Structure 1
Amino acid sequence: MADHLTIATHPLVQHKLTLMRKADTPTAQFRQLLREISQLLAYEVTRDLELTTARITTPLVEMDAPVLAGPKLALVSILRAGNGLLDGMLDLIPSARVGFIGLYRDEVTLKPVEYYAKLPAGLETRRTIVVDPMLATGNSSAAAVSMLKAKGARDIRFLCLLAAPEGVARMAQAHPDVPITTGALDERLNDKGYIVPGLGDAGDRMFGTK
Protein backbone atom coordinates (compact mmCIF):
# COMPACT_ATOMS: atom_id res chain seq x y z
CA MET A 1 0.00 0.00 0.00
CA ALA A 2 2.89 2.38 0.72
CA ASP A 3 3.98 2.48 -2.93
CA HIS A 4 0.39 3.08 -4.00
CA LEU A 5 -0.29 5.98 -1.61
CA THR A 6 1.30 9.39 -1.08
CA ILE A 7 0.23 11.49 1.92
CA ALA A 8 0.89 15.22 1.60
CA THR A 9 2.47 16.04 4.95
CA HIS A 10 3.13 19.71 4.23
CA PRO A 11 2.27 21.82 7.31
CA LEU A 12 -0.12 24.06 5.36
CA VAL A 13 -2.04 21.04 4.08
CA GLN A 14 -2.37 19.63 7.58
CA HIS A 15 -3.35 22.98 9.14
CA LYS A 16 -6.03 23.73 6.54
CA LEU A 17 -7.34 20.19 6.81
CA THR A 18 -7.76 20.62 10.57
CA LEU A 19 -9.83 23.76 9.97
CA MET A 20 -11.99 21.86 7.50
CA ARG A 21 -12.56 19.02 9.96
CA LYS A 22 -14.04 21.34 12.59
CA ALA A 23 -17.81 20.97 12.74
CA ASP A 24 -18.34 24.71 13.24
CA THR A 25 -16.39 25.83 10.15
CA PRO A 26 -18.96 27.73 8.03
CA THR A 27 -19.74 26.81 4.43
CA ALA A 28 -18.00 29.79 2.83
CA GLN A 29 -14.78 29.17 4.77
CA PHE A 30 -14.94 25.42 4.09
CA ARG A 31 -15.24 26.10 0.37
CA GLN A 32 -12.34 28.56 0.40
CA LEU A 33 -10.13 26.17 2.37
CA LEU A 34 -10.89 23.37 -0.08
CA ARG A 35 -9.85 25.60 -2.97
CA GLU A 36 -6.61 26.52 -1.17
CA ILE A 37 -5.71 22.99 -0.14
CA SER A 38 -6.41 21.70 -3.66
CA GLN A 39 -3.59 23.86 -4.98
CA LEU A 40 -1.19 22.39 -2.45
CA LEU A 41 -2.32 18.85 -3.33
CA ALA A 42 -2.00 19.67 -7.04
CA TYR A 43 1.62 20.57 -6.37
CA GLU A 44 2.15 17.12 -4.87
CA VAL A 45 0.34 15.09 -7.56
CA THR A 46 2.23 16.86 -10.38
CA ARG A 47 5.64 16.53 -8.74
CA ASP A 48 6.88 13.97 -11.29
CA LEU A 49 5.80 15.76 -14.48
CA GLU A 50 8.51 15.58 -17.10
CA LEU A 51 10.55 18.64 -18.09
CA THR A 52 12.49 19.63 -21.15
CA THR A 53 14.18 22.91 -22.04
CA ALA A 54 13.35 25.79 -24.34
CA ARG A 55 15.56 28.62 -25.51
CA ILE A 56 14.33 31.92 -24.06
CA THR A 57 15.62 35.45 -23.70
CA THR A 58 15.64 37.04 -20.25
CA PRO A 59 16.18 40.80 -19.82
CA LEU A 60 19.90 40.00 -19.55
CA VAL A 61 20.81 36.90 -21.61
CA GLU A 62 19.57 33.94 -23.57
CA MET A 63 19.25 30.66 -21.68
CA ASP A 64 17.89 27.12 -21.91
CA ALA A 65 15.06 27.16 -19.37
CA PRO A 66 12.90 24.28 -18.05
CA VAL A 67 9.39 23.85 -19.48
CA LEU A 68 6.86 21.07 -19.18
CA ALA A 69 7.24 18.16 -21.57
CA GLY A 70 5.38 14.92 -22.07
CA PRO A 71 1.61 14.47 -22.13
CA LYS A 72 -0.88 17.27 -21.53
CA LEU A 73 -3.09 17.08 -18.46
CA ALA A 74 -6.75 16.22 -18.04
CA LEU A 75 -8.59 16.84 -14.77
CA VAL A 76 -11.68 14.71 -14.17
CA SER A 77 -14.02 15.63 -11.34
CA ILE A 78 -16.28 13.06 -9.70
CA LEU A 79 -19.45 15.07 -9.17
CA ARG A 80 -20.44 16.92 -7.20
CA ALA A 81 -17.86 17.33 -4.45
CA GLY A 82 -14.94 16.85 -6.85
CA ASN A 83 -15.59 20.33 -8.22
CA GLY A 84 -14.26 21.81 -4.97
CA LEU A 85 -10.82 20.35 -5.72
CA LEU A 86 -11.13 21.07 -9.44
CA ASP A 87 -11.48 24.85 -9.04
CA GLY A 88 -8.24 25.25 -7.13
CA MET A 89 -6.33 22.93 -9.43
CA LEU A 90 -7.42 24.93 -12.48
CA ASP A 91 -5.97 28.05 -10.83
CA LEU A 92 -2.63 26.25 -10.90
CA ILE A 93 -3.05 24.35 -14.21
CA PRO A 94 -5.37 26.55 -16.33
CA SER A 95 -4.50 24.81 -19.62
CA ALA A 96 -5.71 21.37 -18.45
CA ARG A 97 -8.71 19.83 -20.19
CA VAL A 98 -11.61 19.08 -17.87
CA GLY A 99 -14.06 16.19 -17.63
CA PHE A 100 -16.89 15.23 -15.29
CA ILE A 101 -18.20 11.89 -14.06
CA GLY A 102 -21.47 11.80 -12.15
CA LEU A 103 -21.68 9.01 -9.62
CA TYR A 104 -23.74 8.74 -6.47
CA ARG A 105 -23.52 6.15 -3.74
CA ASP A 106 -26.56 3.98 -3.10
CA GLU A 107 -27.03 4.43 0.65
CA VAL A 108 -28.17 0.82 1.07
CA THR A 109 -25.69 -1.12 -1.07
CA LEU A 110 -22.92 1.54 -0.96
CA LYS A 111 -22.39 0.78 -4.67
CA PRO A 112 -21.82 3.58 -7.21
CA VAL A 113 -24.56 4.52 -9.67
CA GLU A 114 -23.58 6.50 -12.79
CA TYR A 115 -25.80 9.35 -13.92
CA TYR A 116 -23.50 11.58 -16.03
CA ALA A 117 -20.23 11.50 -18.00
CA LYS A 118 -18.59 14.18 -20.14
CA LEU A 119 -14.92 13.62 -20.89
CA PRO A 120 -12.30 15.37 -23.04
CA ALA A 121 -11.06 13.71 -26.20
CA GLY A 122 -7.61 12.18 -26.49
CA LEU A 123 -7.36 10.71 -23.00
CA GLU A 124 -4.95 8.09 -24.32
CA THR A 125 -2.33 10.83 -24.84
CA ARG A 126 -2.94 12.72 -21.59
CA ARG A 127 -2.12 12.30 -17.93
CA THR A 128 -5.51 12.13 -16.24
CA ILE A 129 -5.93 13.27 -12.65
CA VAL A 130 -9.19 12.15 -11.07
CA VAL A 131 -10.34 14.35 -8.18
CA ASP A 132 -12.80 13.61 -5.37
CA PRO A 133 -12.43 14.93 -1.80
CA MET A 134 -13.25 11.64 -0.07
CA LEU A 135 -11.92 8.14 -0.80
CA ALA A 136 -14.24 6.17 1.47
CA THR A 137 -15.32 2.70 0.30
CA GLY A 138 -13.42 3.21 -2.96
CA ASN A 139 -16.31 1.83 -5.02
CA SER A 140 -17.14 5.10 -6.80
CA SER A 141 -13.49 5.91 -7.38
CA ALA A 142 -12.75 2.47 -8.80
CA ALA A 143 -15.81 2.72 -11.05
CA ALA A 144 -14.72 6.14 -12.32
CA VAL A 145 -11.21 4.90 -13.12
CA SER A 146 -12.65 1.86 -14.91
CA MET A 147 -14.77 4.21 -17.01
CA LEU A 148 -11.73 6.31 -17.90
CA LYS A 149 -9.72 3.26 -18.87
CA ALA A 150 -12.59 2.14 -21.12
CA LYS A 151 -12.35 5.56 -22.82
CA GLY A 152 -8.63 5.05 -23.48
CA ALA A 153 -6.94 6.70 -20.49
CA ARG A 154 -3.69 4.97 -19.57
CA ASP A 155 -1.77 7.39 -17.33
CA ILE A 156 -4.12 8.01 -14.39
CA ARG A 157 -3.63 9.53 -10.93
CA PHE A 158 -6.21 9.84 -8.14
CA LEU A 159 -6.28 12.87 -5.86
CA CYS A 160 -8.38 13.20 -2.70
CA LEU A 161 -8.51 15.25 0.45
CA LEU A 162 -9.10 12.34 2.85
CA ALA A 163 -8.80 8.57 2.46
CA ALA A 164 -9.92 5.58 4.52
CA PRO A 165 -7.81 2.40 4.62
CA GLU A 166 -10.74 0.47 3.10
CA GLY A 167 -10.87 2.81 0.10
CA VAL A 168 -7.13 2.74 -0.46
CA ALA A 169 -7.18 -1.07 -0.36
CA ARG A 170 -10.13 -1.21 -2.79
CA MET A 171 -8.36 1.06 -5.27
CA ALA A 172 -5.09 -0.86 -4.93
CA GLN A 173 -6.94 -4.08 -5.68
CA ALA A 174 -8.97 -2.74 -8.61
CA HIS A 175 -6.35 -0.40 -10.10
CA PRO A 176 -2.84 -1.10 -8.79
CA ASP A 177 -1.45 1.07 -11.60
CA VAL A 178 -3.18 4.22 -10.32
CA PRO A 179 -1.25 6.09 -7.60
CA ILE A 180 -3.23 7.92 -4.91
CA THR A 181 -2.32 11.30 -3.40
CA THR A 182 -4.20 12.42 -0.29
CA GLY A 183 -4.04 14.92 2.54
CA ALA A 184 -4.56 12.28 5.25
CA LEU A 185 -5.21 8.59 5.78
CA ASP A 186 -7.90 8.39 8.47
CA GLU A 187 -8.73 5.53 10.83
CA ARG A 188 -11.67 3.66 9.28
CA LEU A 189 -15.19 3.74 7.86
CA ASN A 190 -18.25 3.70 10.10
CA ASP A 191 -21.24 1.44 9.51
CA LYS A 192 -22.71 3.99 7.07
CA GLY A 193 -19.56 4.13 4.96
CA TYR A 194 -18.37 7.54 6.19
CA ILE A 195 -14.72 8.26 6.96
CA VAL A 196 -13.85 8.49 10.68
CA PRO A 197 -12.78 10.92 12.07
CA GLY A 198 -13.29 12.55 8.68
CA LEU A 199 -15.06 15.85 8.15
CA GLY A 200 -18.61 14.80 7.31
CA ASP A 201 -20.07 14.91 3.80
CA ALA A 202 -17.75 17.13 1.75
CA GLY A 203 -20.42 18.02 -0.81
CA ASP A 204 -22.95 19.03 1.84
CA ARG A 205 -20.40 21.12 3.71
CA MET A 206 -19.17 22.77 0.52
CA PHE A 207 -22.61 23.69 -0.81
CA GLY A 208 -24.53 24.09 2.46
CA THR A 209 -26.94 21.24 1.74
CA LYS A 210 -28.13 18.31 3.82
Structure 2
Amino acid sequence: MADMDHVIIMDHPLIKHKISMLRDIHTGTNEFRTLVGEIAMLEAFEALRDLPMENREVETPLEKAMVPYISGKKMAIVPILRAGLGMVDGVLTLVPTAKVGHIGLYRDPKTHEPHEYYCKLPAPIEQRTILVVDPMLATGGSGVEAVDFIKQHGGKKIKFMCILAAPEGIKRLHEAHPDVQIYVGCVDRELNEDAYICPGLGDAGDRIFGTK
Protein backbone atom coordinates (compact mmCIF):
# COMPACT_ATOMS: atom_id res chain seq x y z
CA MET A 1 0.00 0.00 0.00
CA ALA A 2 1.13 3.56 -0.70
CA ASP A 3 2.09 6.12 1.93
CA MET A 4 -1.21 6.48 3.78
CA ASP A 5 -0.56 10.19 4.34
CA HIS A 6 -1.43 10.60 0.67
CA VAL A 7 -4.32 8.11 0.61
CA ILE A 8 -7.56 9.05 2.35
CA ILE A 9 -9.93 6.10 2.76
CA MET A 10 -13.47 7.23 3.49
CA ASP A 11 -14.98 5.48 6.50
CA HIS A 12 -18.31 7.28 6.78
CA PRO A 13 -21.22 4.88 7.31
CA LEU A 14 -23.25 6.51 4.51
CA ILE A 15 -20.45 5.95 2.00
CA LYS A 16 -19.96 2.35 3.15
CA HIS A 17 -23.71 1.66 2.91
CA LYS A 18 -24.07 3.15 -0.56
CA ILE A 19 -21.01 1.28 -1.87
CA SER A 20 -22.54 -1.97 -0.61
CA MET A 21 -25.66 -1.16 -2.63
CA LEU A 22 -23.49 -0.52 -5.71
CA ARG A 23 -21.93 -3.96 -5.39
CA ASP A 24 -25.30 -5.75 -5.49
CA ILE A 25 -25.87 -7.32 -8.91
CA HIS A 26 -29.59 -6.63 -8.49
CA THR A 27 -29.11 -2.83 -8.28
CA GLY A 28 -30.53 -1.43 -11.52
CA THR A 29 -29.06 1.23 -13.81
CA ASN A 30 -31.08 4.18 -12.52
CA GLU A 31 -30.40 3.41 -8.86
CA PHE A 32 -26.74 2.66 -9.60
CA ARG A 33 -26.30 6.00 -11.36
CA THR A 34 -27.96 7.86 -8.49
CA LEU A 35 -25.78 6.13 -5.91
CA VAL A 36 -22.58 6.96 -7.80
CA GLY A 37 -23.54 10.64 -7.77
CA GLU A 38 -24.39 10.56 -4.07
CA ILE A 39 -21.10 8.85 -3.16
CA ALA A 40 -19.16 11.36 -5.25
CA MET A 41 -20.83 14.23 -3.39
CA LEU A 42 -20.04 12.70 0.01
CA GLU A 43 -16.43 12.03 -0.94
CA ALA A 44 -15.98 15.50 -2.46
CA PHE A 45 -17.09 17.05 0.82
CA GLU A 46 -13.90 15.65 2.36
CA ALA A 47 -11.65 15.96 -0.69
CA LEU A 48 -12.33 19.70 -1.01
CA ARG A 49 -11.75 20.45 2.67
CA ASP A 50 -8.63 22.51 1.90
CA LEU A 51 -9.99 24.80 -0.82
CA PRO A 52 -8.42 28.25 -0.35
CA MET A 53 -10.63 30.91 1.29
CA GLU A 54 -10.72 34.69 1.29
CA ASN A 55 -12.80 37.21 3.24
CA ARG A 56 -15.20 39.57 1.47
CA GLU A 57 -17.64 42.12 2.77
CA VAL A 58 -21.38 41.41 2.57
CA GLU A 59 -24.37 43.19 3.96
CA THR A 60 -26.61 41.02 6.12
CA PRO A 61 -30.12 42.16 7.11
CA LEU A 62 -28.48 43.53 10.27
CA GLU A 63 -25.06 44.90 9.35
CA LYS A 64 -22.02 44.65 7.09
CA ALA A 65 -19.66 41.77 7.83
CA MET A 66 -16.49 40.16 6.48
CA VAL A 67 -17.29 36.56 5.58
CA PRO A 68 -15.30 33.70 3.97
CA TYR A 69 -15.67 32.73 0.32
CA ILE A 70 -13.74 30.22 -1.80
CA SER A 71 -10.92 32.19 -3.40
CA GLY A 72 -8.96 32.01 -6.62
CA LYS A 73 -9.94 30.56 -9.96
CA LYS A 74 -12.83 28.13 -10.02
CA MET A 75 -11.87 24.53 -9.41
CA ALA A 76 -11.92 21.98 -12.23
CA ILE A 77 -13.56 18.56 -12.22
CA VAL A 78 -11.96 16.20 -14.74
CA PRO A 79 -13.76 12.87 -15.23
CA ILE A 80 -11.97 10.02 -16.96
CA LEU A 81 -14.40 9.00 -19.70
CA ARG A 82 -16.72 7.40 -19.67
CA ALA A 83 -17.44 6.08 -16.19
CA GLY A 84 -16.07 9.22 -14.52
CA LEU A 85 -19.01 11.17 -15.95
CA GLY A 86 -21.22 9.45 -13.39
CA MET A 87 -19.44 11.29 -10.56
CA VAL A 88 -19.51 14.82 -12.01
CA ASP A 89 -23.02 15.88 -11.02
CA GLY A 90 -22.42 14.83 -7.43
CA VAL A 91 -19.41 17.14 -7.17
CA LEU A 92 -21.21 19.95 -9.03
CA THR A 93 -23.97 19.78 -6.42
CA LEU A 94 -21.39 21.01 -3.91
CA VAL A 95 -19.46 23.35 -6.23
CA PRO A 96 -21.83 24.41 -9.03
CA THR A 97 -19.39 27.02 -10.36
CA ALA A 98 -16.65 24.45 -11.03
CA LYS A 99 -15.46 24.02 -14.61
CA VAL A 100 -15.53 20.55 -16.15
CA GLY A 101 -12.83 19.08 -18.37
CA HIS A 102 -12.72 15.61 -19.93
CA ILE A 103 -10.06 12.99 -20.51
CA GLY A 104 -10.92 10.05 -22.76
CA LEU A 105 -9.00 6.81 -22.28
CA TYR A 106 -9.70 3.30 -23.49
CA ARG A 107 -8.14 0.14 -22.12
CA ASP A 108 -6.38 -2.30 -24.43
CA PRO A 109 -8.23 -5.61 -23.91
CA LYS A 110 -4.97 -7.61 -24.05
CA THR A 111 -2.45 -5.47 -22.18
CA HIS A 112 -5.02 -3.64 -19.99
CA GLU A 113 -2.98 -0.46 -20.60
CA PRO A 114 -4.77 2.87 -21.27
CA HIS A 115 -4.65 4.88 -24.50
CA GLU A 116 -5.76 8.50 -24.85
CA TYR A 117 -8.36 9.52 -27.41
CA TYR A 118 -9.54 12.87 -26.01
CA CYS A 119 -8.30 15.59 -23.66
CA LYS A 120 -10.03 18.94 -23.10
CA LEU A 121 -9.25 20.97 -19.98
CA PRO A 122 -10.57 24.35 -18.77
CA ALA A 123 -8.11 27.25 -18.88
CA PRO A 124 -6.15 28.48 -17.07
CA ILE A 125 -5.69 24.95 -15.74
CA GLU A 126 -2.50 25.84 -13.84
CA GLN A 127 -4.46 28.14 -11.50
CA ARG A 128 -7.16 25.65 -10.56
CA THR A 129 -7.62 22.94 -7.95
CA ILE A 130 -8.20 19.89 -10.15
CA LEU A 131 -10.28 16.93 -9.01
CA VAL A 132 -9.85 13.89 -11.27
CA VAL A 133 -12.75 11.46 -10.86
CA ASP A 134 -13.17 7.83 -11.90
CA PRO A 135 -15.30 5.27 -10.03
CA MET A 136 -12.63 2.56 -10.23
CA LEU A 137 -8.88 2.66 -9.62
CA ALA A 138 -7.93 -0.82 -10.82
CA THR A 139 -4.47 -1.22 -12.39
CA GLY A 140 -3.85 2.50 -11.91
CA GLY A 141 -2.89 2.91 -15.57
CA SER A 142 -5.73 5.27 -16.48
CA GLY A 143 -5.22 7.35 -13.36
CA VAL A 144 -1.51 7.73 -14.03
CA GLU A 145 -2.10 8.67 -17.67
CA ALA A 146 -4.82 11.18 -16.79
CA VAL A 147 -2.60 12.95 -14.26
CA ASP A 148 0.27 12.86 -16.79
CA PHE A 149 -1.88 14.67 -19.35
CA ILE A 150 -3.06 17.28 -16.85
CA LYS A 151 0.50 18.00 -15.74
CA GLN A 152 1.61 18.26 -19.38
CA HIS A 153 -1.06 20.93 -19.84
CA GLY A 154 0.21 22.85 -16.79
CA GLY A 155 -1.99 21.50 -14.00
CA LYS A 156 -0.33 21.60 -10.58
CA LYS A 157 -2.74 21.07 -7.69
CA ILE A 158 -4.31 17.71 -8.52
CA LYS A 159 -6.44 15.34 -6.44
CA PHE A 160 -7.73 11.93 -7.52
CA MET A 161 -11.06 10.59 -6.26
CA CYS A 162 -12.53 7.13 -6.82
CA ILE A 163 -15.17 4.92 -5.27
CA LEU A 164 -13.35 1.57 -5.31
CA ALA A 165 -9.63 0.87 -5.60
CA ALA A 166 -7.36 -2.14 -5.75
CA PRO A 167 -4.13 -2.03 -3.73
CA GLU A 168 -2.21 -2.39 -7.01
CA GLY A 169 -3.83 0.73 -8.45
CA ILE A 170 -3.19 2.87 -5.39
CA LYS A 171 0.47 1.80 -5.34
CA ARG A 172 0.99 2.54 -9.04
CA LEU A 173 -0.70 5.95 -8.97
CA HIS A 174 1.11 7.02 -5.81
CA GLU A 175 4.51 5.90 -7.09
CA ALA A 176 4.03 7.76 -10.38
CA HIS A 177 2.56 10.90 -8.80
CA PRO A 178 3.44 11.09 -5.09
CA ASP A 179 2.23 14.71 -4.98
CA VAL A 180 -1.36 13.72 -5.80
CA GLN A 181 -3.72 13.12 -2.87
CA ILE A 182 -5.87 10.01 -3.45
CA TYR A 183 -9.41 9.80 -2.01
CA VAL A 184 -10.92 6.29 -1.96
CA GLY A 185 -14.35 5.06 -0.91
CA CYS A 186 -13.14 1.52 -0.26
CA VAL A 187 -9.99 -0.50 -0.93
CA ASP A 188 -10.89 -3.96 -2.24
CA ARG A 189 -8.91 -7.18 -2.05
CA GLU A 190 -7.15 -7.50 -5.40
CA LEU A 191 -7.30 -7.49 -9.19
CA ASN A 192 -8.30 -10.66 -11.01
CA GLU A 193 -6.59 -11.97 -14.15
CA ASP A 194 -8.75 -9.69 -16.30
CA ALA A 195 -7.72 -6.64 -14.23
CA TYR A 196 -11.13 -6.26 -12.60
CA ILE A 197 -11.33 -5.23 -8.93
CA CYS A 198 -12.54 -8.05 -6.64
CA PRO A 199 -15.03 -8.30 -5.06
CA GLY A 200 -15.75 -5.03 -6.87
CA LEU A 201 -18.97 -4.11 -8.60
CA GLY A 202 -18.37 -5.16 -12.20
CA ASP A 203 -17.86 -2.65 -15.01
CA ALA A 204 -18.82 0.77 -13.62
CA GLY A 205 -19.36 2.32 -17.05
CA ASP A 206 -21.71 -0.45 -18.17
CA ARG A 207 -23.69 -0.25 -14.94
CA ILE A 208 -23.94 3.56 -15.00
CA PHE A 209 -25.04 3.75 -18.63
CA GLY A 210 -26.89 0.45 -18.96
CA THR A 211 -24.60 -0.99 -21.62
CA LYS A 212 -22.84 -4.32 -22.00
Structures share fold, TM-score greater than 0.5: yes
Structure 1 length normalisation: TM-score? Answer: 0.97
Equivalent runs, 1:25-104 vs 2, <5 Å: 25-104=27-106
1:146 is the counterpart of 2:148: yes
Quick one: which amino acid aligns to residue 7 of structure 1?
Answer: I
Partners of 1:71 and 1:41 in 2: CA distance? 22
Partners of 2:171 and 2:103 in 1: CA distance? 22
Quote how far apart the aligned CAs of 1:58 are. Answer: 1.5
Alignment correspondent of 1:117? 119
1:128 is the counterpart of 2:133: no
Q: Which runs of 5+ in 1 are unaligned?
A: none
Quote how far apart the aligned CAs of 1:72 are. Answer: 2.5
Partners of 1:137 and 1:106 in 2: CA distance? 12
- Secondary structure of 2:75's match? strand
Equivalent pairs counted in the alignment come to 210
Quote how far apart the aligned CAs of 1:60 are. Answer: 2.0
- Secondary structure of 1:72's match? coil
Quick one: which amino acid aligns to residue 181 of structure 2?
Answer: P
- For the aligned residue pairs, the C-alpha RMSD in angstroms reads 1.0
Alignment correspondent of 1:189? 191
Partners of 1:181 and 1:9 in 2: CA distance? 11
Q: Which moved more, 1:64-73 or 1:171-180?
A: 64-73
What is the CA deviation profile of residues 148-193 of structure 1, one whole-angstrom value per residue up to 9, with x for unaligned ones?
1000001100011111100000011110000100111111111110
Partners of 2:151 and 2:88 in 1: CA distance? 20
Alignment correspondent of 2:18? 16
Quote how far apart the aligned CAs of 1:71 are. Answer: 4.3
What is the CA deviation profile of residues 79-118 of structure 1, one whole-angstrom value per residue up to 9, with x for unaligned ones?
0000000121112211111111110111110110111111
Alignment correspondent of 2:201? 199
Partners of 1:71 and 1:134 in 2: CA distance? 28
Partners of 1:58 and 1:90 in 2: CA distance? 27
Partners of 1:182 and 1:70 in 2: CA distance? 26
Quote how far apart the aligned CAs of 1:61 are. Answer: 2.5
Quick one: which amino acid aligns to residue 23 of structure 2?
Answer: R
Quick one: which amino acid aligns to residue 49 of structure 1?
Answer: L
